[in-house]
Chain A
Amino acid sequence: MNYQIDLQNREQLSLNSSELSDIKELYQQRNDSLDAFKQASLPSRKVEHWKYNDMTFLKEGEFELATQTRPMPTSYPAIAIEDAIELHFNNGVLANDLAALDLPQGLRIRKLQECSADKISLLAKMNQVNEKNMLLNLNQALCDNIIVIETLDNVQLNQMIYIKHLTSDLQNNAIASSQIFVMVGRSSELSILEQFESELTNAITLSLQQSFFQLSENSHVKHYRLNVEKDSAHQVGQVKATLEKDAVFDSFYLGLGSKLNRTDIDILHQGNNAHVELNGIYLPANEQRIDYHSNIEHQVPHCTSNEIFRGIIADKSSAVFNGKIHIFKDAQKSDAFLNNKNLLLTNQAEVNTKPELEIYADDVKCAHGATVAQLDDKSVYYLQTRGINKKRARKMLSIAFIQELVNKVKQDAVRKHLVSLLDDYMSHID
């Protein structure tokens, strides 16, 4: 049965009848999210958190919720990661058989409906109504593809969890919807890679995807989220992580391609001495729109954050970066640093950056910086005097601009893939 979502007539929308909607722990949360979705204004330039996005595609009206299970095509541009534990989402629908996965000791991957009531309640909590991003509320109201990944305490997972996403082969305008919920036990370590690809279609696709992370005491998570979609794809996604005492979340982002990619990153420091590392590169070209909204909440004392995002904006594209650091009252001894640098390559490109500080404690160290600039003429000239042509010189300098962040990717296969993507990207821009 097809579930139609008419974005222009939201008030008629009711909860999707599905296995998940029947779970009582989820019902209230889904209903609240739906209400919030119906009541909020559709994203437009008048809404602060969507101020710089072009959301005209939403006027298309009817979208169909993708529900059909399709296998992952072999043409998927996979990253050669040895021994990875793979999950496939095609149009948001899980495409592989969980039972067939060969999982190491201490790791469990299940559908939400197979989890205990208290796990489901935890997830419901992660799915609280989102005040800033109404499209995430839509996902929270109707998502039927929720996979729970959990480790026991003291598990050092050597294998990478590799999640392949694809939007493919759709005839009508469609919404793909999925969530993952990663629960990491005390003193456990895991790494996880999310890759988003798409096939070029005539239909408009909107992929709604949320990844939730719950880091228990002293746990360590390495996370990569690579958005490499084609120009017809729209994604509105979220990464949300709660960190308990001594937990470390190291998260890397690449925004390359897609008609529109809006990713909200919400980090909640809830235990002392937690640390987050957010690094990202965005490289919109053509008429692409890439938007990263990060919000780091220091709710308790002695936590640290380090965030670096860099963007190169080419052609007629635009980028938005909104990085907020919020230090709660009592969160003394917080140490937070944020830096955002942008290169605008043409005079039809546009960047809007807003690094924000909201501070309610006095004994804290917070600093942010943002710059927008062009490649340094003197450096280009210097390279030219050494026999390198101008185009090549500009490319070298552009790569240098983001090299620091590429170097932060310690996983070899991911970094190599990243470098090849960047080479390809560089050969297409002027």
Chain B
Amino acid sequence: MKLFRLIAWKEFQHLRSDKAALRLLFIMPMVQLMVLGYALTTEVKNTPYAVIDRCNCPASASLLASVSSSPLFQFQGFAHSESELRTWMDQGRIRIALLIPPDFSDKLESRLQITPAGLPKGDGVPVGIWVDGQDASSSGTARGYLSAILDQWSQQRLANRLHAQGRELRDLLPFHIDTRIAFNPLLESSWYMVPGIAVILITMVTSLLTGFSIVREKEAGTLEQLLVTPIKPIHIVLGKAFPFFIIGIVELFLALGIAKFWFGIPFLGNYLVLLLFCAIYMLSSLGIGILTSTVVRTMQQALFLIWFFLIFFLLLSGFFLPVENMPGWVQGLTHINPVRYFMQVLRSMFLKGSGIQDLWREALSMLAIGVIVFGSAVSLFHRKSG
């Protein structure tokens, strides 16, 4: 125990003697959090679009006005032909296009010939949308927004016509929708992403730094010099992990402060429960660092191996992509991913104020993974160090 403290003291001294690195250790993640908190948004805004208006009539002008007044789309110009439109799309100038046929106005008028006795005559007006499908997810969203704007415009036309006849569209519709949004009423992307970024920062800092600090001593030969003293390998490894455990907790609470006071994201959970969950989680992240350090010889190998694991853990954590969307066998894999659980824990503690009664399954899963990873890391270190 005394020797564990000595090693922990030594590690803190290393951190203290490298003031530049220490500053970076806290400033860099915070800068990342502030920048990425804005950048990582799932919202689709300012989609550039172009139009071919072959009708060039008051009706098409009104339709186009409803699109251009939306902040979701940014008008890039009128194209004169489909090949011109295609060129723009090839050049990346536009991501979506709207095509209005020459008979738009006529067909629309005949379609709106509604009398109290009869249904409208003629076909619906064909309006074309062209989508750049490279980025499937945001193009899909943009297409949905554009269809919704067009639908709303045509509904409005219909409603006006009915109103003139003394009828109301909403009385004719079979239902109307009443939406209530829980936890994040304004659907702010940052409310969801910032807690997720915090998880990633803590994971990176604790696993990489712990791994590096052990491998650095391996490379310098100082680890062997420690091992030839009466200290037990377990004291070395625990003593070395301890400062990064503390740093992880400090970073979590710093991230929490930025989330709360910079982004205005409410944290509804309990701080002590968060501390407990964070401690359980760090068994895994510290364990990954230690485990890696036992199987590699150089910093380069350590960096490569830890990154290899982190990429998997992060992309399969539900950070960007919901786990529910993944194929069944990948979802199975995510059950052994500690980042997935902590991601879920932190997000629901933030916005839902979840406590132990809601999150005990995640806590137990993290604990099981943590004990296995940390335990095997420590025992492997012990075995390899003789």
Bound together: no
